[in-house]
């Protein structure tokens, strides 16, 4: 008689046991409350949920709270920041914002996590009942986890290449680099940081170098965390990944782009999307429209708005421009646009307050993305094969812009340091009309294909997600 290949009398039992082992594991996610950070964290929640984990989002109530009704599969642990007026968190610079946000989250987060643990069914001595995944900027997540004897993992929401550059800032400062670095040397290569030039370093005119270096020492370290999850692709940033891996010596899981792995689409937008622009795009020719957005945080001044508008008008290209209310300094929305601009543009252009960006980038009418090169926008553009026109403003955006234009060669950078209508018009034509733009578009299409392969069975991000699942189960 042939031996039964399945020694288990109930063929579903093994599967059920594995599943039971999975569902009794709970993951608490601690996002940083800004759009570019909330989205990848919610998407990570969605992919981990699809792997059988129960997901709880621990978030502060006061700043950009997620909408639980958009995520019926998740539980939510809202906490109130300690202190009276949360608005004063925003009154200092970037460093003050994050140190204050973490300090004021520390005890409320710990309390609500402790309460969450008490309420969990099936508590057993010596058994880890939950793990904490925190955004690198919400490093208080690690402190809370450690105090409660829970393992923690970091989610890094920006590119590895930028992190490597941040990590080099203290060394560069010690070697003489300062806030008064001469303009004449901005295009010189940075030692040991190829392919970055000094102008690509992740600095900001709103933050001193000293303050940046202090912040790096808080957010770029692994602390006691067991692993780092990256919203990037291994092969896309291989050299940076290898260096960071050598430095950190804990497992890395590159599971990006998370928005592509989170299927069905996870609604993560904190602002109301203007869906009307999609029907406008439907009427445009294929690859004819330039989409413009500088993300969820950046501001421009009136002069920059006027230069951008005039450059766009003079280029003659159709465009879709997302301008957040309040993002033009000193005005409610787009009041300072040059007189007659809207009439002159007519149906050739459309301005919205907030676009459904991912849908926009996936639309066949889009031929280019003029972006500030935030990491989410960069990944979204690359994933849809849309070539970029780069206007990095500060921080990691400057590093991403260098990679887009010089390493992956899927975009063009504006050459002038300040917004200039002539340069804008010239670069729009290079990207949207000239032969050069056609070649860049072909490279972007090839990169899109590589990304698509990476998230399919056997691809690097697909495998990394499975490895991450196993890793969490092994903790
Ligand atoms: N975004 C959007 N509609 C807009 C502008 C931005 O949906 O009109 C989304 C975009 O898809 C991205 C995020 O906001 O996921 C911005 O993140 P990014 O890292 O690019 O920039 P940040 O806002 O953090 O500077």
Confidence of residue 122 (pLDDT cuts 50, 70, 90): low
* pLDDT for the residue 84: 75
C-beta separation of 377 from 157 below 8 A? no
Q: Determine the Cα–Cα distance for residues 75 and 63; give it in Å rounded to an integer.
A: 18
Could you tell me the domains of the chain? 24-118+125-177+214-268+454-474 (3.40.50.2000), 276-453 (3.40.50.2000)
Q: In testing the pocket of ligand 1, which one of 321, 376, 397 has its CB within 8 Å of the most ligand atoms? A: 376
- Which ligand 1 atom is the nearest neighbour of the CA of 353? 8
Environment class of 193 (CB within 10 Å of its CB; exposed 0-12, middle 13-18, buried 19+): buried
Q: Determine the Cα–Cα distance for residues 82 and 109; give it in Å rounded to an integer.
A: 10
Task: Please tell me the distance between residue 378's alpha carbon and the centre of ligand 1 in angstroms.
Answer: 10
Task: Indicate whether residue 354 lines ligand 1 (CB < 6 A).
Answer: yes
Does pLDDT of 7 surpass 70? no
Take atom 15 of ligand 1 and give the residue whose Cα is closest: 376
Environment class of 428 (CB within 10 Å of its CB; exposed 0-12, middle 13-18, buried 19+): buried
Largest interatomic CA distance in the chain: 90
- Which ligand 1 atom is the nearest neighbour of the CA of 397? 25
Does pLDDT of 433 surpass 70? yes
Take atom 6 of ligand 1 and give the residue whose Cα is closest: 295
- The number of beta carbons lying within 10 Å of the beta carbon of residue 455 is 20
378 φ/ψ sector (left φ>0, alpha ψ -120 to 50, else beta): alpha
* pLDDT for the residue 87: 73
* pLDDT for the residue 126: 54
Condensed to tens digits (0 to 9), the pLDDT of residues 67-107 reads 999 999 999 999 999 987 777 788 888 899 999 999 999 99
Q: Determine the Cα–Cα distance for residues 33 and 29; give it in Å rounded to an integer.
A: 12
Q: Determine the Cα–Cα distance for residues 438 and 273; give it in Å rounded to an integer.
A: 30
The radius of gyration computed from the CA coordinates of the chain, to the nearest angstrom, equals: 23
Condensed to tens digits (0 to 9), the pLDDT of residues 300-355 reads 999 999 999 999 999 999 999 999 999 999 999 999 999 999 999 999 999 999 99
Condensed to tens digits (0 to 9), the pLDDT of residues 16-35 reads 444 444 444 899 999 999 99
Task: Indicate whether residue 26 lines ligand 1 (CB < 6 A).
Answer: no
Condensed to tens digits (0 to 9), the pLDDT of residues 280-294 reads 999 999 999 999 999
Could you tell me where the beta strands, DSSP code E, fall in 143-249? 152-156, 227-230
Does pLDDT of 384 surpass 60? yes
Average pLDDT for residues 158-171, to the nearest whole number?
A: 97
Does pLDDT of 6 surpass 50? no
Does pLDDT of 5 surpass 90? no
Task: Indicate whether residue 375 lines ligand 1 (CB < 6 A).
Answer: yes
């Amino acid at each position: 008689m042939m031996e039964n290949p399945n020694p288990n009398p109930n063929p579903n039992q093994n599967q059920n046991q594995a599943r039971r082992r999975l569902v009794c594991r709970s993951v608490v996610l601690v996002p940083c409350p800004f759009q570019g950070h909330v989205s990848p964290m919610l998407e990570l929640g969605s992919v981990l949920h699809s792997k059988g984990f129960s997901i709880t989002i621990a978030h502060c109530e006061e700043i950009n709270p997620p909408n639980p009704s958009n995520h019926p599969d998740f539980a939510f642990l809202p906490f109130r920041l300690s202190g009276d007026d949360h608005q004063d968190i925003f009154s200092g610079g970037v460093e003050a914002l994050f140190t204050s946000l973490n300090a004021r989250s520390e005890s409320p987060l710990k309390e609500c996590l402790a309460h969450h643990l008490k309420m969990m069914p099936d508590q057993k001595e010596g058994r880890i009942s939950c793990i904490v995944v925190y955004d690198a900027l919400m490093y208080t997540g690690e402190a809370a986890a450690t105090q409660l004897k829970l393992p923690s993992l970091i989610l890094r929401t920006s590119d590895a290449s930028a992190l490597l550059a941040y990590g080099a800032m203290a060394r560069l400062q010690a070697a003489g680099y300062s806030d008064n670095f001469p303009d004449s040397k901005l295009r010189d290569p940075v030692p040991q940081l190829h392919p970055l030039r000094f102008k690509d370093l992740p600095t900001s005119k709103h933050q001193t170098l000293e303050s940046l270096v202090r912040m790096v020492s808080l957010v770029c370290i692994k602390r006691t965390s067991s692993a780092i999850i990256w919203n990037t692709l291994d092969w896309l940033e291989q050299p940076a990944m290898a260096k960071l891996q050598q430095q950190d010596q804990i497992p890395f899981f590159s599971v990006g782009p998370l928005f592509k792995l989170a299927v069905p689409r996870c609604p993560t937008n904190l602002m109301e999307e203007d869906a009307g622009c999609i029907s406008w795009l439907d009427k445009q020719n294929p690859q004819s429209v330039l989409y413009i957005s500088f993300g969820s945080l950046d501001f421009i001044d009136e002069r920059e708005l006027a230069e951008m508008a005039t450059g766009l008008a003079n280029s003659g290209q159709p465009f879709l421009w997302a301008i957040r209310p309040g993002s033009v300094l000193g005005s409610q929305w787009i009041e300072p646009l040059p007189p007659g601009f809207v009439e002159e543009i007519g149906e050739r252009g459309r301005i919205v307050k907030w676009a459904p960006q991912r849908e926009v980038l996936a639309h066949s009418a889009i031929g280019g993305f003029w972006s500030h090169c935030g990491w989410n926008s960069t990944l979204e553009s690359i994933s849809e094969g849309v070539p970029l026109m780069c206007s990095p403003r500060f921080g990691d955006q400057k590093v991403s812009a260098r990679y887009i234009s010089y390493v992956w060669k899927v975009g063009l950078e504006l050459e002038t340091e300040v917004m200039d209508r002539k340069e804008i018009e010239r670069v729009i034509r290079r990207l949207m009309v000239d032969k050069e733009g056609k070649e860049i578009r072909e490279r972007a299409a090839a990169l899109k294909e590589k990304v698509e392969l990476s998230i399919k069975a056997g691809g690097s991000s697909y495998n990394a997600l499975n490895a991450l699942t196993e890793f969490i189960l092994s903790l």
